[in-house]
Structure 1
Amino acid sequence: MTLLGTTPTDAYRSLDDADINRKHWLTVFTAGMGFFTDAYDLFIIGTVTVLLTPIFNLSTNQISLLNSISLLASVVGAMTFGK
């Protein structure tokens, strides 16, 4: 399929040959922040369980349940809102 006489290969080549400008860096920054905000809860759950264990006197089973529910909630959230 062509649009205005440009093949997809030509379009990709022009993107590859383009100079990196401010919009490219903004796109990379936005994608990075999106990943950070999406994955932050998965990275921080270990620290949170270490901090909450002495405060709430959590048992090993409760810590395991807390971690499992956190992972399950992220899967459900991704399937529900990630469309």
Structure 2
Amino acid sequence: METAPTAGAGQAWRAAIAPQAEVQQSNAVVNYVAMGLIIAFTAITVVNTLAMSVFDRRRPHPPLSQARMIPVVAAELSEGAP
């Protein structure tokens, strides 16, 4: 028949797992820092990709004034075209 654990056994158990708990805590901090870096680099990559695609699409098209489309649009507006 087993007897109930004594108060001394509980203290010994806590003392035995204390170093392991400290190691787990430090590992958790390292994991959070690594995850933060991964998320930060992913966000930078997404923003960089979006910026490059926007700037890439803007380059080949000249502004409306250079394409001489503003007078055509103004003429259509003065005629009352829908």
TM-score, normalised with respect to structure 1: 0.30
Q: Give the number of the structure with larger relative contact order, counting CA–CA contacts within 8 Å between residues 6 or more apart.
A: 1
Q: Which has the larger radius of gyration?
A: 2
TM-score, normalised with respect to structure 2: 0.30
More helix by share: 1
